C-alpha cells in the first residue's frame, strides 16, 4: 500500500483508514512524497504535474460547474486512496478543498450532517459558503 503518512501536513484519515491530503496550490509543494493522483478544484485548468491529475472546474467560493463530473472525480479519488497517495487541492485549500473532503467523508460513511465538522476537526478550516454546506448535505448525501 502506497498511501500518505498519517502525520504529514494536510493529511486527513477517514474512518475506513483511507488517507487523502488536502492542500492549497498557492503554497509550494510540501516536502516528501508526491501524489500518485490528484483532483484539482479550480476555475481554470491546473499547471502540469509529474503525477496523474484530474481537473474539476470549480470557481472560487462557488460550486462545481458540473456536479456529475465533480462527484465522479471525488469517487475516483476515494477509490484510489485505498492504495495510492491522493491529493485534493484548490488555490486556498479551505473552501473547495474542504467541501470536497467533506463529500469524501460522506462517501466513507460519515453522515452528511456531520461531514463538515469531521473535516474541520481532522483537517482544519473547511467549507466557506452556505451553498458549499448545502452541497455536502444534499448532493454528496444522495450518492452514498
pTM: 0.94
Residues 40-62 have pLDDT tens digits of: 999 999 999 999 999 999 988 88
Residues 54-109 have pLDDT tens digits of: 999 998 888 898 989 999 999 999 999 999 999 999 999 999 999 999 999 999 99
Maximum CA pair distance of the chain?
37
Tell me, which fold does domain 11-142 have in CATH? Answer: 3.90.190
Return d(Cα 81, Cα 79) in angstroms, integer.
6
Residues 4-39 have pLDDT tens digits of: 989 899 999 999 999 999 999 999 999 889 999 999
Sequence length of the chain is 144
Return d(Cα 13, Cα 44) in angstroms, integer.
29
Boundaries of every domain in the chain = 11-142
Amino acid at each position: 500500500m502506497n498511501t500518505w503518512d498519517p502525520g504529514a501536513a494536510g493529511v486527513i484519515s477517514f474512518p475506513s483508514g483511507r488517507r487523502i491530503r488536502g492542500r492549497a496550490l498557492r503554497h509550494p509543494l510540501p516536502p516528501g512524497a508526491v501524489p500518485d493522483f490528484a483532483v484539482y478544484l479550480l476555475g481554470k485548468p491546473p499547471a502540469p504535474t509529474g503525477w496523474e491529475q484530474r481537473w474539476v472546474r470549480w470557481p472560487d467560493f462557488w460550486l462545481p460547474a458540473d456536479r456529475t463530473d465533480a462527484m465522479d472525480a471525488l469517487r475516483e479519488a476515494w477509490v484510489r486512496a485505498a492504495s495510492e497517495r491522493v491529493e485534493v487541492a484548490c488555490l486556498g485549500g479551505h473552501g473547495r478543498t474542504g467541501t470536497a473532503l467533506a463529500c469524501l467523508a460522506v462517501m466513507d460513511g460519515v453522515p452528511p450532517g456531520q461531514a463538515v465538522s469531521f473535516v474541520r476537526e481532522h483537517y482544519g478550516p473547511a467549507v466557506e459558503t452556505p451553498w458549499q454546506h448545502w452541497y455536502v448535505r444534499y448532493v454528496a448525501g444522495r450518492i452514498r
